[in-house]
Amino acid sequence: MSDVPPLLEIAELTVGFRTDDGVVQAVRGFDLQVDAGEIVAIVGESGSGKSVSAMSILQLLPPSATIEGAVTWAGENLLEVGENRIGQVRGDEVAMIFQDPLSALNPVYRIGYQITEMIHAHRKVSGRQARERAIEMLRLVGIPQPDRRVDQYPHEFSGGMRQRAMIAMALSCDPQLIIADEPTTALDVTVQAQVLELLVDLCHRLNTAVILITHDLGVVAGMADRVTVMYAGRVVESGVVDDIFDRTAHPYTAGLLASLPRLDGDVDEPLMPIAGQPPSMLDPPPGCSFHPRCPWAKEEAGCMTVVPENIERNPGHFSACHRADELMATESLVRIATGAP
Amino acid sequence: MTSYILRRMLQLVFVLWGGATILFLLFFILPGSPAELIAGGGHKAVDPQVVKNIEHQLGIDRPIYVQYVKFLDRTVHGDLGESYLTHQKVTTIIKERAPLSLRLAFWAIVVEVVIGISSGVLSARRRNSLADTVTTVVAVVASAVPVFVLGYLIKQVTGVYAYQHQWPSWARFPPLGFGPNTWYLGIIPSRLQLKSLLQPALVLASVSTAILARITRTSMLETLRMDHVRTARAKGLKESVVIRKHVLRNAMLPVITILGIDFGTAVGAAVLTETVFNLRGLGYRIVTASAQRDVPIVLGLSLVVMFVYGIASVMVDVGYALLDPRIRLRDSDA
């Protein structure tokens, strides 16, 4: 990577939630760098801490969360800035797109109002200018008749349209970074690809960086520049897409990849799930959190006792596995995923 | 929307008709005749011939259907009959009593809206804080203490004790009556009027205010958890704007429903408050007339109360539609 400081740098982010049963350790030392215009995917199962990490960037977590670490944005640690400054960053410099556009939009306000409200929060413009900007943005995301649609309510939009409107809103103040938290999970399969392509395409054109949070590695393959795989609140592997897909260096990543249905595979071939359940974050397993489910876990390697460090195995390709060297010497993905010799 | 409101008004006519019919029949089912009471009976025996004569005078010796048709006929023509006992016209009684009840109910609702909603919002925003605990305790106590206990208590303190101990004049309130009857625009009290209005309005509003505060709190907390509130914050809106525009407005729907019901209740069922402060409102008159079997008064005044309920419920529906665009008032909903 270059000498230019990254757009966003998250270091040693740790997030816990106080509950009646104890502290849920949602994120345990998360690192991420995003350069300008880059598309970075965070992949992991539900509960792996990916959404929580993203929410903490803009201080959007509830007060019950305790956050440590640093989120460096434009030379400042966003975790420590005051209400006014974070208000400036939110929406204007860093915008967010959420999972379910129906619940993420306020049902009682018109789409146009919800967009202009954000423009007014950050720009000194007239009502007419803000409205024109909103229409322009709706046109940009491919909503037909935007000058009419701007006055409609969210329930009058289809699911895909709503998410397009969310994208329009997110882009309306020209942010440098968009955090998209599973932006297509709540949508019909048929429109998922359309919406995602639209987002990625627009961000490429506008040179907006994207943090794309998803549990679908298939989505990542075609869209992202780099991928970070999370498990149980930690990064287990990160690198460019080709590293992750072709030179997989963590059994969890291999498990995710092997569980994908393939278009070119045998139809009768059963899908390969990862056995077991993600651990409880109230009391995560010692050592490598993945070891109870890992076919490669070995006492002698320290899997059960020592937390593996996330080490750079090849330039830009990090893996947190005690047996990464052995994995990287293994050709077959299925063999990595199953641990078969 | 206009056609919806017209439909609802038409519906209201049937509601009034149904309500009046049920009340009318009730008086025939209940034992005891108004004629006996008028003849001085009740406990001691009276000459049956006297009772018969009175019944004939009042027209209640005729078959029930004849009386019913007669009742409907004159009601439709705006004649609500006259009191069996005082021979006062019921419409006159309504003109006398309704303004007091409506004004008292209106200001009780104002108290309820202002105190109930603001304390509900406060305790939701500062959840589990001292303010939340205090409003919770006050709300539970206020809804548990019977209105007449609270009423007499307040009256004793600011209406009696305050005079006996020469409290400053702003802390003294007239213990009885509704004051000089001076209103601007028919609804805004003069300063002197306010003195007499304040205590009964507070007492009448006490229970409903407490309940509204709890409902507002719950509704706010529910809305605060919603995704669109997180979106509003992520847009960079100020917290005060988030609360006002994206939480409060969405949280108001259940609150509006309660307010509509409360207004109807405050007009028709303020008997306890009216009794404590010796006010001559609709509810008070309905209760005394019921005890005296003065059927025309009960029917006539009840019609007014039912009408107010009906109007309030239409207003709730319209308020709903204004607050939430997902609710469209179509004729089919009426």
Contact A118 B323 (CB under 8 A): no
pLDDT at B334 over 60: no
Q: In the predicted model, what is the mean pLDDT of residues A204-231?
A: 89
pLDDT tier at B332 (50, 70, 90 boundaries)? low
Which three-class secondary structure state does DSSP give residue B99?
helix
Residue B287 domain-assigned (yes or no): yes
B150 and B242 in a single domain? The answer is: yes
In this predicted structure, the answer to whether residue A339 has a pLDDT above a threshold of 80 is no
CB atoms within 10 A of CB A114: 24
Is B249 part of the contact surface with chain A (CB cutoff 8 Å)?
yes
Q: Which residues from chain A sit within 8 angstroms of residue B238, using beta carbons? A: 87, 121
Q: pLDDT digits over B303-314, tens only?
A: 999 999 999 988
B128 in contact with chain A, both atoms CB, cutoff 8 A: no
Mean pLDDT to the nearest integer, B259-274: 88
Per cent of chain A over pLDDT 90 is: 63
Q: What pLDDT digit, counting tens, does each position of B167-208 carry?
A: 888 888 888 877 788 788 888 888 888 888 888 999 999 999
Does residue B169 belong to any structural domain of this protein?
A: yes
Q: Which long-range contacts (CB under 8 A, 24 or more apart) does B158-165 make?
A: B158/B199, B159/B199
Of the listed ranges A69-78, A176-185, B63-72, the least confidently predicted one is B63-72
Residue that is last in its domain, among B51, B79, B107: B79
Query: Which residues in chain B are contacts of A118 at CB distance < 8 A?
Result: 235-237
Question: Does residue A217 contact residue A186 with C-beta atoms inside 8 Å?
Answer: no
Count up the domains in chain B and report the number.
2
Note the pLDDT of residue A60: 93
Is pLDDT above 50 for B97?
yes
pLDDT of residue B333: 52
* Spatial separation of the C-alpha atoms in residues B198 and B54, rounded to whole Å: 44
**Domain identity same for B148 and B40:** no
Q: What is the DSSP string of A212-239?
A: EEES-HHHHHHH-SEEEEEETTEEEEEE
Q: What mean pLDDT is reported for chain A?
A: 90
Answer whether residue B218 is part of any domain: yes
- Give A290's Cβ-side CA count (13 Å radius): 30
Residue B6: inside a domain: no
- Does residue A287 contact residue A307 with C-beta atoms inside 8 Å? yes
* Residue B226 near chain A (CB below 8 Å): yes
Banded model confidence at residue A341, pLDDT cuts 50, 70, 90: low
Q: What is the mean pLDDT of residues A170-183?
A: 94
| Within-domain flag for B238 | yes
B124 with B98, same domain?
yes
* Prediction pTM value: 0.83
Say if residue B279's pLDDT is above 80: yes
What was the pLDDT predicted at A298? 87
Cβ of B230 and A98 within 8 Å?
Answer: yes
On whether both B174 and B257 belong to a single domain, the answer is yes
- B235 at interface of A, judged by CB pairs closer than 8 A: yes
The residue out of B79, B106, B138 marking a domain boundary is B79
Residue of A nearest to B249 (CA): A108
pLDDT one-digit tens code per residue, B117-154? 999 999 998 888 899 999 999 999 988 888 889 988 98
Cβ within 8 Å, pair A104-B227: yes
pLDDT (average), residues A209-238: 90
Residues of chain A positioned with their CB less than 8 A from the CB of B324: 107-108
Specify whether B56 is located in the same domain as B165: no
Same domain, B72 and B211: no
What pLDDT was estimated at residue B159?
83
The per-residue pLDDT of chain B, averaged, comes to: 87
Is B256 in CB contact (< 8 Å) with chain A? no
Asked if the Cβ–Cβ distance from B230 to A153 is below 8 Å, we say no
Q: Dump pLDDT digits (tens) for A14-62.
A: 999 998 888 999 999 999 999 999 999 999 888 899 999 999 999 999 8
Number of neighbouring beta carbons within 10 Å of residue A84: 8
A117/B228 Cβ within 8 A: no
Q: What is the spatial distance between Cα A110 and Cα B302, in angstroms, rounded to a whole number? A: 43
Q: Are residues B45 and B136 in the same domain?
A: no
A/B interface, count of CB pairs below 8 Å? 72
Task: Give the Cα separation of B313 and B307 in Å (integer).
Answer: 10
Partner-chain contact A121 B238, CB within 8 Å? yes
Residue A265 pLDDT class (50, 70, 90 cuts): low
Contact call for A118 and B226, based on CB within 8 A? no
Q: Do B68 and B101 have their domain in common?
A: no
Residue A122: closest CA among chain B residues belongs to which residue? B236
Which has the higher per-residue pLDDT, B38 or A223? A223
**B224 to chain A, minimum CA–CA distance in Å?**
11
CA–CA dist A210, A35 (Å, integer): 9
Domain that holds residue B53: 32-79
> How does residue B330 score in pLDDT terms, banded at 50, 70 and 90?
low
Domain membership of residue B282 (yes or no) is yes
- CB-closest option in A83, A96, A100 to B234: A96
Give B246-288 as a DSSP string. Answer: IIIHHHHHHHHHHHHHHHHHHHHS-HHHHHHTT---HHHHHHH
Q: Quote the percentage of chain B above a pLDDT of 90.
A: 33
Let me know whether B172 and B70 are in one domain.
no
Percent of chain A at pLDDT exceeding 70:
97
pLDDT digits 0-9 by tens, A274-320? 888 888 888 889 999 999 998 888 888 889 999 999 999 999 999 99
Give the burial string for B59-83 (b: 16+ CB within 10 Å, else e): ebeeeeeebeeebeeebeeeebbbb
Residue B293 resides in a domain:
yes
| Least CB–CB distance from A105: residue in B228, B249, B323 | B228
Element holding A34 (H helix, E strand): strand A22-34
What is the pairing mode between strands A311-314 and A177-181? unpaired
Q: State whether B45 and B130 are in the same domain.
A: no
B324–A117 C-beta distance less than 8 A = no
CA distance A49 to A34: 18
**B45 and B163 belong to one structural domain:** no
* pLDDT of A2 higher than 60: no
Residue A267, pLDDT score: 67
Find which of B72-76, B143-147, B231-235 is predicted with most confidence, using mean pLDDT.
Answer: B231-235
Tell me the shortest Cα–Cα distance from B332 to chain A, in angstroms. Answer: 20
CA angle A153–A156–A162, rounded 5-degree value: 80
Per-residue model confidence (pLDDT) at position A271: 76
Between the two ends of chain A, the Cα-to-Cα distance in Å is 36
Q: Please indicate, yes or no, whether residues B199 and B115 belong to a single structural domain of this protein.
A: yes
**Tens digits of per-residue pLDDT, B16-58?**
999 989 988 888 787 777 777 777 766 667 788 888 888 888 8
- Alpha carbons A338 and A332: distance in angstroms, whole number: 10
Q: What is the CATH number of the domain that holds B116?
A: 1.10.3720.10
Domain end, chosen from B22, B56, B79, is at B79
- Chain B residue with CA closest to A173: the answer is B235
**Cβ–Cβ of A155/B237 closer than 8 Å?**
no
In our burial notation (b when 16+ CB lie closer than 10 A, e otherwise), range A260-273 reads eeeeeeeeeeeebe
Q: Which of residues 291-330 of B touch A (CB under 8 A)?
A: 323-326
Instruction: Name the residue facing A92 among B236, B323, B324 (closest C-beta).
Output: B236
- Per-residue pLDDT band at B264 (split at 50, 70, 90): confident
Q: Respond yes or no on whether ipTM tops 0.95.
A: no
Amino acid present at A86: I
Q: Is residue B18 part of a domain?
A: no
